[in-house]
Structure 1
Amino acid sequence: MWPDAPPSVLQPNVARRSAVGSAFPIEVKKMTDRCPLTCVVTIACIFIASHCHAQQPPQDDSANEANPQTIDEALLFSPTKFPTGDWEPKGLRFEDIFFSSKDGTKLHGWYCPSDHPRGVVLIAHGNAGHVASRAPWLRYLQSQAQLSVFMFDYRGYGRSEGIPTVEGAIADATAAREKLRELASVDDAQMLLMGESLGGAIVTQLAADSAPCGLILQSTFSSLRDVADVHFPKLSWMVPRNKLDSAAVIAEYHGPLLQSHGNRDRTIPFSLGEKLFRSANEPKQLFTVEGADHNNWLTHAYLEQLDAFIAGVTPPSK
């Protein structure tokens, strides 16, 4: 049984407004409550067409030239850059880790080793914020769950360089997994993969081509196209059907799965979580967070379920 966790233990995946908004914003949901969705979509179309490329900050980003950010990716990613946030959080022991993605993009993450780890976990966060904004969650996993944790920032987030793209984020996660093998002296079979919202889709891609000891998904969608159909139905054709198609990819994973989702989630509807879960192989567990929206899924009941899952799948780290 885990000790009680304060409500502030997790800094949620609160979407911040970028130049063109976000595909998963609570703010956009509130806007649609006040005006018809068609109005929002029309405004988005006009704004994207006239400002998408003009609003990108100038930077030397040759690594992204071969795969520039698409319009749907400009909507999807909402990065927060260093030095915004608290980068010296109290009560968390961490090492600044700098490494490179496959295309040479320089990345950054926090490695938070536990004194007596019962497992090792790689975490991919959601579409907003950065590692520093999730320090309370990292502190909890390190000290209470007794896990050695590596959370990284996608390109364009925090202290990582570049411009975020889906292909780039998957490559960044792959590089982070390789770095964690080195940091914790473990192989894939000794590693947990954990992902929050967008991050769940990213680590599902990794799980399909490796054999982690367990996969933990929190408020994750079935596919990016499905989310676009919900929030931007008249623009959803812009999102390729196979882009972050987690429901298809998860069928390639055959290890233990713990999936959680709030049944009042207005950002990633619960039905999309159910669709993803139906596509997964056994052994699998779906934990419904009763009454939870997209960002308040962290409850005592969920932590107990997570604790039991980790105890059942993770070998001790070296």
Structure 2
Amino acid sequence: MTGLIVRVGAGVILAAAVLGGSVVALERSVVYHPIAYPRGSWHPEEFGLSVTDHYFETDDGLTLHAWHAEADRLGADLRGESGPRRTLLWFHGNAGNITHRADNMRLLVAEGIDVFIFDYRGFGRSEGRPSEKGLYTDARAAYAYLTETLAVPRDEIVFFGRSLGAAVAVELALDQAPAGLILESPFTSAPAMARVMFGGLPLGFLISSRFDTLERIGRVNTPVLIAHGDRDEIVPYAMGRRIYDAANDPKSFYRITGAGHNDTYVIGGTPYFRELRAFWEGL
């Protein structure tokens, strides 16, 4: 019965899209779920997180917003826990905004890594409306700001892409090779996800966005860590495995036992952070 409902619902959506000429609107409703300012928790100190606000421009004239948090290196040095300096350039998923990653961000910073996370166009305080081309433009602008304005050495930067952000991170890695690349809960492509969402119906042709990580990952030549919850209810675990199989060495795969799509760091707990830290410290 559930399968029938999904198929009937998909048929209604398809008919509405074709008859109403609303394919673009359909795609935006499926692919992007931004939450714009002032919605969100814009006081990171409530999570025990200290950040600085940053604004930068894209090549097409939009202003984007980011948070930058630096690790306590003095404390780490005193504890004898300091490793090589790294900065995590975070490409978040398709929903919410950077404030919804504050708790995860705090825990990453506690592991001794700086974090720079930005909102794509149309998310949070960032201007514009999201699109695949636009997100790639935003990624290039964030990288340029991090390396040029903040003067972070390129060989210290680790890309961290979650879900949709994994596709954005891989695209940028083709042109700007990071020290390492972490992909968490990645999907193979947008059309493949459309088939998953609509009960296996071949509706990928309605989605102009590609976000084709599976095709691109084989052209990335940088160390890769792929992490995926084996109970992911949104992006099939098998997609993460396929991307891992297509990636070049050196590569590693971390199965987050019992984790779904949005609770990886919570369910993963200490082993999760240990795995990520071992990756960036081993670069």
Shift of 1:34: 8.2
Paired position in structure 2 for 1:38: 7
Q: In structure 2, how many angstroms separate the alpha carbons of the residues matched to 1:69 and 1:97?
A: 31
Residues 1-318 of structure 1 correspond to what in structure 2 (within 5 A)?
A: 33=2, 36-46=5-15, 48=17, 71-90=26-45, 91-116=48-73, 118-142=85-109, 144-232=110-198, 233-239=201-207, 243-298=210-265, 299-300=268-269, 301-313=271-283
* Alpha carbons of structure 1 residues 52 and 199: separation in structure 2 relative to 1, 3 Å: farther
Deviation at 1:295, TM superposition (A): 1.5
| Contact 2:51–2:68 (CA under 8 A) maintained in structure 1 | yes
1:264 counterpart letter in structure 2 = R
Q: Which moved more, 1:107-116 or 1:44-53?
A: 44-53
> 1:221 Cα shift?
0.8
Separation in structure 2 between the aligned mates of residue 162 and residue 151 of structure 1, nearest angstrom: 18
Normalising to structure 2: TM-score of the pair? Answer: 0.87
CA contact (8 A) 2:195 2:204 kept: yes
Identity %: 35
**1:170/1:35 CA distance change after superposition, 3 Å:** same
Partner of 1:12: none
| AA at the equivalent of 1:102 | D
Instruction: Give CA deviations for 1:78-107 in whole Å, capped at 9, x if unaligned.
Output: 000101111012221111111111111111
Q: 1 CA distance for matches of 2:8 and 2:151?
A: 53
Task: Normalising by structure 1, report the TM-score.
Answer: 0.78
What amino acid is aligned across from residue 41 of structure 1 in structure 2?
A
Quickly say closer, same or farther: Cα 1:43–1:151, change in 2 above 3 A: same
Q: What is the CA-CA distance between 1:42 and the residue it aligns to? A: 2.4
Is contact 1:52-1:71 (8 Å) kept?
A: no
Q: Judge conservation of contact 2:108–2:273 (CA < 8 Å) in 1.
A: no
Distance 1:180 1:265, change over 3 A: same
Unaligned segments of structure 2, at least 5 residues? 74-83
Query: How far has the Cα of 1:50 moved from its partner?
Result: 7.4
Q: Distance in 2 between matches of 1:113 and 1:303?
A: 17
- Give SS of 2:71's match: coil
Deviation by residue 1:100-155 (Cα, 9 ceiling, x = unmatched): 1111111111111224283111101111110111111111122x112111100010
Give ranges in structure 1 of 5+ residues lacking alignment. 1-31, 54-67, 314-318
After TM superposition, the structure 1 stretch with the greater mean CA deviation from structure 2, 242-251 or 127-136, is: 242-251
Q: How much has 1:187 moved relative to structure 2?
A: 3.3
Instruction: Give the SS at the match of 1:185.
Output: coil
Residue matched to 1:25: none
Shift of 1:266: 2.3
Computed over aligned residues only, the root mean square deviation of the Cα atoms, in angstroms, reads: 2.2
Count of residues in Structure 1 that have an aligned counterpart in Structure 2? 266
The one-letter code sitting in structure 2 at the alignment partner of 1:173 is A
1:189-229: per-residue Cα shift (whole Å, max 9, x none)?
A: 22100011001111011111122100001100111111112
Q: Paired residue for 2:81?
A: none
| Higher helix residue share | 2
User: Letter of the aligned partner of 2:207 in structure 1?
Assistant: V
